[in-house]
């Protein structure tokens, strides 16, 4: 079932999961189908000299197109934005139905079994994307990694387990996976800035899971931390959150040559 909410966001309510994608406005149905079948990342280049990058991962069942439109209106002139699409795999939460997913999901509770192998494989893929930006002349210290829901989980895990320095992390309606392992080890990228946004009416990833992730990472020494809670927002985004994301990127990735 596809529903259009007041922010111009489509929600697909399927089984016990909600998959969130953005509206494509004027794109015709056949063009949309072709776009969603492509696994090439969507890339939005800045209008000025690019000296930084943002790599943003979509949530379960979405594609890179799902967030590209939303970032188009908040893009910074010195930043390149990359929106990859996850591989299509069977998802246990949805009775094995194949869909774009960064890793398998078994349940919606923070105590449910986790796909450790899949999470680590997704993190390796994200590191490869950062290295691709490095090959284009953008140091990892000028890269923000982020995502929505499952995509944000991959970004958080990658940041705190990788030796590669990054500029920042964006995690929207998300959580830190494999948190028990993280709690018992030292974390990386303590100097990176973190922005977490979460709706207090989220029925899929309860805001308490996001808060627990924030508290754990701050207890591990991640001090440059912003956790914003949005009143009445469910498992989606809103205009206020996107403005906050814009300001976070703007302050974290200031132009080298203003």
So which residues are the catalytic ones?
Answer: 149, 202, 235
Match 């899971």 to its residue by tokens: 209
Instruction: Name the pTM for this structure.
Output: 0.87
Instruction: Report the alpha-carbon distance of residue 143 to residue 128 in Å, rounded.
Output: 13
Give helix 150-161 / helix 207-219 axis angle, nearest 10°: 10
pLDDT at 1 over 80: no
- Per residue in 14-62, pLDDT (tens digit) is 332 333 433 323 323 333 334 344 479 999 999 999 999 999 999 999 9
pLDDT recorded at residue 210: 97
Rounded to a whole number of angstroms, the distance between the first and last alpha carbons of the chain is 46
Q: How confident is the model at residue 127 (pLDDT cuts 50, 70, 90)?
A: very high
Contacts of 208 (CB under 8 A, 6+ apart): none
């Amino acid at each position: 079932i596809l529903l259009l909410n007041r922010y111009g966001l489509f929600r697909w309510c399927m089984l016990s999961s909600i998959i969130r994608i953005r509206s494509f406005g004027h794109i015709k149905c056949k063009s949309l189908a072709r776009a969603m079948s492509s696994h090439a990342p969507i890339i939005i280049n800045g209008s000025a000299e690019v000296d930084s990058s943002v790599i943003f991962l979509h949530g379960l069942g979405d594609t890179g197109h799902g967030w590209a439109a939303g970032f188009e209106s908040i893009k910074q002139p010195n930043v390149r934005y990359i929106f990859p699409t996850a591989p299509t795999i069977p998802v246990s939460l949805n009775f094995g139905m194949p869909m774009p997913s960064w890793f398998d999901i078994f349940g919606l509770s923070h105590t449910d079994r986790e796909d450790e192998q899949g999470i680590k494989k997704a993190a390796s893929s994200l590191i490869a994307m950062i290295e691709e930006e490095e090959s284009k002349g953008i140091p990892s210290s000028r890269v923000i990694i982020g995502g929505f829901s499952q995509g944000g989980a991959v970004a958080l895990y990658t940041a705190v387990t990788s030796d590669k320095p990054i500029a920042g992390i964006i995690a929207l309606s998300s959580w830190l996976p494999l948190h028990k392992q993280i709690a018992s080890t030292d974390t990386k990228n303590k100097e990176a800035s973190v922005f977490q946004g979460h709706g207090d009416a989220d029925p899929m990833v309860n805001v308490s899971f996001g808060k627990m992730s924030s508290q754990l990472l701050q207890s591990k020494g991640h001090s440059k931390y912003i956790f914003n809670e949005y009143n009445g927002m469910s498992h989606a985004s809103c205009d206020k959150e996107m403005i906050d994301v814009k300001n976070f990127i703007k302050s974290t990735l200031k132009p080298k040559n203003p």
